[in-house]
Amino acid sequence: MRTTLFEKYVDSGQMTMTELARRVGYTPVYLSWIRHGHYPVTEAFIARVCLRLGCDIGDLFFEDVPEKPGNLHGGGGDSA
């Protein structure tokens, strides 16, 4: 599961990683590990982040767009 937390708050310049860490109660190192996929994004992590930042869970995730079979390269499908 990939979160938009870092894009929304850090990459946008809204706050530094250190400020984000202070506000959500984790260390900057721990957040970096989550950002780079070394630790999973758990329900407890997301619940804590939402509570501390006052945001909705839907604000912290990318929308999943399912890929259609045969449409991986813009072509495919059934053609007659």
pLDDT, averaged across the chain: 81
Q: Which domain holds residue 15?
A: 5-60
Question: For residue 24, which phi and psi values (nearest 5 degrees)?
Answer: -95, -5
The answer to whether 39 and 33 have CB atoms below 8 angstroms apart is yes
CATH of the domain at 37: 1.10.260.40
Q: Are 34 and 45 in contact (CB under 8 A)?
A: yes
pTM over 0.75: no
Band (52; pLDDT cuts 50, 70, 90): very high
Give a yes or no: residue 80 inside a domain: no
**Number of domains, the chain:** 1
CB 3 within 8 A of CB 50: no
In a domain, 29, yes or no: yes
20 occurs within a structural domain:
yes
The answer to whether residue 78 sits within a structural domain is no
Q: Would 11 be classed as within a structural domain?
A: yes
pLDDT in tens, 13-47: 999 999 999 999 999 999 999 999 899 989 899 99
The band of 57, judged by pLDDT with boundaries at 50, 70 and 90, is confident
31 within a domain of the structure (yes/no): yes
